[in-house]
Amino acid sequence: MWMTDDEIEYYKARSKFISGAGCFIAVAVVILILIVSVFSFASKVLDLMEPKDRQLFVSKSPDQTHAIKVIEKGRGLSFADPTVLISYKKYKIERQLNNDRKDLAADNVSINWNNNEEATVILYGDEQYPRVIQFKVPEKGEYPFQVIKEDLDIITLLSRQSPNHVNVVELRRKRSLGMPYANNPPVEVYYGKIGSSLQKYDAPYADQQHRMDFFEIIWHDDQHATIHAKQHLGKGSTRLVSTLEITLN
- In angstroms, rounded to a whole number, what is the distance separating the alpha carbons of residues 243 and 249? 20
Closest Cα to residue 176, out of 212, 200, 150, 195? Answer: 150
- The residues that bridge with 229 in the sheet, in sequence order, are 215, 242
Instruction: Measure the CA–CA gap between 57 and 72, rounded to whole angstroms.
Output: 10
What residue ranges in 19-149 does DSSP mark as E strands? 54-60, 67-72, 83-88, 91-96, 109-113, 118-125, 128-136, 145-147
Provide the residue ranges of all domains of the chain, joining segments of one domain with +.
7-50, 51-247
Lowest mean pLDDT among 151-155, 187-191, 244-248: 151-155
Q: What is the pLDDT of residue 163?
A: 92
- Euclidean distance between CA atoms 125 and 84, whole angstroms: 11
Tens digit of pLDDT for each residue in 44-94?
Answer: 655 555 668 888 889 999 889 999 999 999 876 677 888 999 999 999 999
Task: Using pLDDT thresholds of 50, 70 and 90, give the confidence band for residue 18.
Answer: low
Mean predicted lDDT score pLDDT of the chain:
80
- Residue-wise pLDDT tens digits, 197-236: 889 887 666 555 667 778 889 999 999 999 988 887 776 6
Contact 187, 172 (CB under 8 A): yes
| Residue 107: predicted pLDDT | 80
pLDDT single digits (tens) 161-189: 899 989 999 988 877 766 665 555 678 89
